[in-house]
């Protein structure tokens, strides 16, 4: 299996994030991608290639142009205002402010485009996010070109980013950008299956009123887990998209046996939808030792997960999302990919 990877991800390295009333080093860190890459090479998963530059066009097919411009200029505007350290949101337009619009002041613009407060921006964030999206697009090229599957080792991740906000460590929604690009290259239907512990709120928002993308998410129940305000079962789409969003919220302590049942139901929905492409938002924070999650999957469970995903028998793009038990992240990620390859190879 081809892996696409950009070392520019290291340009995004936030300094701190709030957590439980304290300030800690960010759970989302450059070492995450490095551990995964090392494991890919250790097991000989396949070739590793840098991304090609597809330009801003595919990004702007998904994200608001004003938001993209904000990401491009926020660091310069922040430092020009005399602020130092990382860009950190501190003020938001609240529910009682119905006439919300961007302000000219950088502090207000940061809050306007911020989904939440844990995601810092540094000088290299835009470049890292841009090349993360190009990583997904380049892996998509391989699948559209005939590969059974490809792995986009994206960092920063993307599934929490809606059209015009950043948060949850995400800036550009890599999976959504790839799904839209596939449609623009002739696919009629695309399924996006999010197996990250946290609900893919950004992807859901982007495709909520559309029928050409089926979005499915397995995640911690919103009354206990970030992003808290989305991901309930009764969120099923709007207008033309009614019935094309499917959520599987699961409670604290969910073991693999229960999680697997939800996955199998999701895969049945995908088979019935009969898409031309399957995009997997591959988060490994479902792991039993993840520091900010509460499912109970083990390392061996990920091999079985990969085999189940292969059973759908579709061209498949894996897009890296979360997973914060850094020491085990490489093994767990590659277990999914190897489980997929083994099962796909066994198919006639």
Give dist(CA 274, CA 59) in Å, integer. Answer: 26
Spatial neighbors of 35 by CB under 8 A, at least 6 apart, are 326, 327, 329, 330
- Check 9, 13, 160, 199 and give the catalytic one: 160
Three-state DSSP class for residue 59:
helix
In this structure, are residues 241 and 209 in contact, taking their beta carbons and an 8 Å threshold? Answer: yes
Asked whether the bond before 156 is cis by omega within 30 degrees of 0, the reply is: yes
Nearest Cα to Cα of residue 317 among 284, 278, 345: 278
Lookup: tokens for 266: 């999701």
Residue 8 to residue 234: CA distance in whole angstroms? 39
Q: Which tokens hold the place of 249? A: 């919220």
The CA-atom distances, in angstroms, between 321 and each of 4, 33, 234 are 14, 10, 24
Q: How far apart are CA 301 and CA 55, in angstroms?
A: 38
Catalytic residue status for 13: no
Both structure tokens of 219? 């995640």
- Please, what sign has the CA dihedral across residues 63, 156, 321, 95? negative
Active site residues: 160
């Amino acid at each position: 299996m081809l892996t696409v990877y950009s070392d520019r991800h290291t340009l995004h390295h936030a300094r701190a994030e709030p957590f439980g009333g304290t300030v800690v080093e960010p759970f989302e860190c450059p070492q995450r991608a490095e551990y995964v890459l090392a494991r890919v090479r250790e097991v000989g998963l396949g070739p590793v290639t840098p991304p090609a530059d597809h330009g801003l066009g595919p990004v702007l097919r998904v994200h608001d142009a004003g938001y993209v411009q904000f990401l491009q200029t926020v660091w310069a505007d922040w430092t020009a205002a005399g602020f130092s350290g990382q860009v950190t949101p501190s003020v938001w337009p609240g529910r009682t402010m119905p006439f919300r619009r961007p302000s000219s002041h950088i502090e207000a613009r940061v809050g306007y485009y911020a989904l939440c407060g844990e995601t810092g921006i540094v000088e290299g964030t835009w470049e890292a996010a841009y090349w993360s999206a190009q990583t997904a697009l380049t892996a998509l090229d391989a699948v559209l070109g005939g590969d059974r599957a490809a792995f986009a080792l994206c960092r920063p991740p993307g599934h929490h980013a809606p059209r015009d906000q950043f948060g949850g460590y995400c800036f550009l929604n890599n999976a959504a950008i790839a799904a839209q690009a596939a449609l623009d290259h002739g696919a009629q239907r695309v399924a996006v299956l999010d197996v990250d512990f946290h609900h893919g709120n950004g992807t859901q928002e982007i495709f909520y009123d559309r029928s050409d993308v089926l979005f499915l998410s397995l995640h911690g129940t919103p009354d206990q887990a970030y992003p808290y305000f989305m991901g309930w079962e009764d969120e099923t789409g709007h207008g033309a998209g009614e019935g094309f969003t499917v959520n599987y919220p699961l409670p604290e302590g969910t073991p693999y046996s229960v999680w697997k049942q939800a996955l199998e139901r999701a895969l049945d929905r995908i088979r019935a939808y009969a898409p031309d492409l399957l995009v997997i938002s591959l988060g490994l924070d479902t792991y039993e030792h993840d520091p900010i999650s509460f499912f109970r999957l083990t390392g061996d469970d990920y091999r079985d997960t990969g085999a189940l995903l292969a059973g759908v028998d579709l061209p498949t793009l894996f897009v890296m999302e979360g997973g914060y038990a850094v020491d085990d992240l490489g093994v767990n990620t590659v277990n999914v990919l190897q489980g997929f390859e083994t099962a796909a190879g066994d198919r006639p």
